[in-house]
Structure 1
Amino acid sequence: MATATSSPATPGLTTTPYAPPPTTTNLSSATFTLPSYTSFPPFYTLQPNLTTRARQLALWTNLILSYAAHARLFRLSLSAPPANLLSNPTLHRALSEPDTRAVLDHMVQQGRAEWIPAASRAERPAAVWIYWRSLAEWADLIYGWVDETGQKGSVLTVYELREGEAVGGKEWVGMEEEMLRRVLGVLVKKGRAQIFGQEEGAGVKFF
């Protein structure tokens, strides 16, 4: 495949910190509209030209974050990524694992992802947390909800925060417990919460 000499044209894309789109009631990944640059075959191979490569990394970061915000995706696994997110069956193109790791490394450097340690130190991480909102932003959202609903001083379970009726429709619904605990850890460090126990039924008291 020929090396691209210029980056795909994508009007309006900036490299400023990502801002998630407004909440939508339709969260089906099937309704996510792929940007036009995903129809450009060289997009699926990181190019050696540094300027082009930097542009590609920015585009991939924007694509993954946009999809994650749309589909409420909190964890991305290299072995089972969302269908067609890292590939284009029509073009018979897919981002290779080395290039996928390069993209995710870039996102980690930008504070938009974090590698999840593998079970064994001898293994390479195979999944990342996707931060379409930062941990601090999630912490502020949850604490804001606690404040607005008059639950300061109350004890809620981790399960209630993830799946309870009271949080229905909130952006963090379905967040994996491990990530939610990391978010709550931000509030603990600020003296705004205390966690009791280690299981999903553990209690969280907000101050």
Structure 2
Amino acid sequence: MALAGQQQAQNPTSTTSNTTPSAEFVFPKSYHFPPFFSPQPTALTRQAQLKKWSVFIQRYCQHHRIFQIQLIDVLDSPLFHNSTLKKRLSLKDAKAVIDYMVSKDGDERAEWLGPEKSAAWIWWRKPEEWANVIANWVDETGQKGTVLTLYELVQGETTEKQDFYAMDMDVLRKCLGTLVKKGKAQVFGTDDQQGVKFF
């Protein structure tokens, strides 16, 4: 679902945080050259192009704290459309970029949300990387043995200055799943009233 008005242009997805970016996003130099928006003909230049797109998408999503994109919604956003150049990625080319990000060559920096490939997680931090951030916070604040609701973890006063504050709940569950597998956490309760205990 697209967001309305200016917010849609800046945060083109329904899974963003409520935090406001501290500065305007700086687009990479390649974004201002028309060839960036057209698939390059040789394998070597295409690989380099896909890598640049991956880095750009990760940085853009990190700046705006976007965790998930709906491709149909973002095609007209600054992420895939340079209105000054009047150049954009087609849906096919956008899917090719995300396919690259999903692959091992793309360092698995994205994950499709289904076989139809209409939406994807963008891992500017992978779930295991987020899990490490949360685990470090647990250690630093003496939260081991404490039970917190998932809401408290990402919306509580004690986490307001943390990078995981206002995190998408589905991303949080993936991160906590990583900690559960390592024996560092236990998640319990129903979906809307889930809690977590750290070890």
Alpha-carbon separation, structure 2, partners of 1:137 and 1:150: 20
Normalised by the length of structure 1, the TM-score is 0.80
Matches within 5 A, 1:136-151: 136-151=128-143
Residue 198 of structure 1: CA displacement?
A: 3.0
Q: CA RMSD in A?
A: 1.7
Matched, 1:182 2:174: yes
Gaps (5+ residues) in structure 1?
1-24, 118-122
Alpha-carbon separation, structure 1, partners of 2:54 and 2:62: 12
Residue 27 of structure 1: CA displacement?
A: 1.2
Gaps (5+ residues) in structure 2?
1-18
Alpha-carbon separation, structure 1, partners of 2:66 and 2:161: 15
Residue 125 of structure 1: CA displacement?
A: 2.5
Alpha-carbon separation, structure 2, partners of 1:185 and 1:47: 39
Alpha-carbon separation, structure 2, partners of 1:34 and 1:70: 11
Q: Which amino acid aligns with 2:65?
A: R
> The residue matched to 1:195 in structure 2 has which SS?
strand
**For structure 1, which segment, 191-200 or 100-109, has the greater mean C-alpha deviation from structure 2 after superposition?**
191-200
Matched, 1:31 2:28: no
Alpha-carbon separation, structure 2, partners of 1:92 and 1:198: 48
Q: Which amino acid aligns with 2:36?
A: F
Aligned to 1:204: 196
More helix by share: 2
1:68-100: CA deviation from partner (whole Å, max 9, x where unpaired): 221211112202228311110111110111110
1:139-177: CA deviation from partner (whole Å, max 9, x where unpaired): 011011111111100100011112111110211122211
Q: Tell whether the 8 Å contact from 1:177 to 1:200 is kept in structure 2 after alignment.
A: no
Q: Tell whether the 8 Å contact from 1:45 to 1:96 is kept in structure 2 after alignment.
A: no
Aligned to 1:45: 38
1:77-126: CA deviation from partner (whole Å, max 9, x where unpaired): 20222831111011111011111011001101121111112xxxxx6121
Residue 55 of structure 1: CA displacement?
A: 1.2
Normalised by the length of structure 2, the TM-score is 0.83
Matches within 5 A, 1:43-122: 43-81=36-74, 83-109=77-103, 110-117=107-114
Aligned to 1:6: none
Q: Which amino acid aligns with 1:162?
A: V
Q: Which amino acid aligns with 1:159?
A: Y
- Structure with max Cα Rg: 1
Aligned to 1:152: 144
1:46-68: CA deviation from partner (whole Å, max 9, x where unpaired): 12221121111011011011112
> The residue matched to 1:70 in structure 2 has which SS?
helix
Residue 201 of structure 1: CA displacement?
A: 2.2
Residue 42 of structure 1: CA displacement?
A: 1.6
> The residue matched to 1:184 in structure 2 has which SS?
helix
Q: Tell whether the 8 Å contact from 2:72 to 2:91 is kept in structure 1 after alignment.
A: no
> The residue matched to 1:200 in structure 2 has which SS?
helix
Alpha-carbon separation, structure 1, partners of 2:84 and 2:55: 21
**For structure 1, which segment, 73-82 or 90-99, has the greater mean C-alpha deviation from structure 2 after superposition?**
73-82
